[in-house]
Amino acid sequence: MAANGGGKILNVSSTAAYMPGPLQATYFATKAFVSSFSYALAEELSDKGVTVTALEPGYVETEFADRADLNGTALTKSGQTPDTVAKIGYDAMLKGKINVINEPFLAFQLNWLMPFLPHKLKNKFIRKMQEKA
C-alpha cells in the first residue's frame, strides 16, 4: 500500500484495550497491543497515504460470550450486532479515523472517566463485570 501511494487498514481491537482485564488478562492485553500497534502504524504510514483505524467495540453479540464463559455477566447485558459494528468500523476507516468505539457513551466513559480512576478501583470494577452473579 505504501509503495502504491495509499490504502486503508482496519484492525479489530476492543474497548478492553483501555483497561486492565482481571479474569481475562491475556485477552485485554492483546487488545491493548492491537490498539497501540494501530496508532503507531497510523503515524508511521501517514506520509505514505495509508490510514490505519482501530475498531474498538464494546460487547458484540457473537459466540464470544459462550466461548469465554461470560454469559450471565454484566459485560453481556447489552451489545450490538456484528453487522452494525462492522459498518461503524468500515465507515470510520473510510474517513481515515485513527480509532472508533461503537457506543458514544462508552467512548465517553473510557476516554474521560476511566483514565482518572485509580488502578485498584478499575481492577475491582472490571473483575465484578466479568464475574457471574
Q: What is the pLDDT of residue 132?
A: 85
Specify the amino acid at residue 10: L
Among residues 27, 39, 59, 90, the one annotated as catalytic is: 27
The dihedrals phi and psi of 101, each to the nearest 5 degrees, come to -110, 130
For the record, the C-alpha cell of 112 comes out as 474521560
Taking only the tens place, the pLDDT of each residue in 79-107 is 889 999 999 999 999 999 999 999 999 99
61 in Cβ contact with 85 (< 8 Å):
no
**Could you confirm whether 39 is annotated as catalytic?**
no
**Segment 21-62, tens digit of pLDDT:** 999 999 999 999 999 999 999 999 999 999 999 999 998 888
- Write the DSSP assignment of 90-124 as a string of letters: HHHHHHT-SEE-S-HHHHHIIIIIGGGS-HHHHHH
Give all domains of the chain, ordered by start, each with its CATH number.
7-103+112-130 (3.40.50.720)
- pTM summary value: 0.90
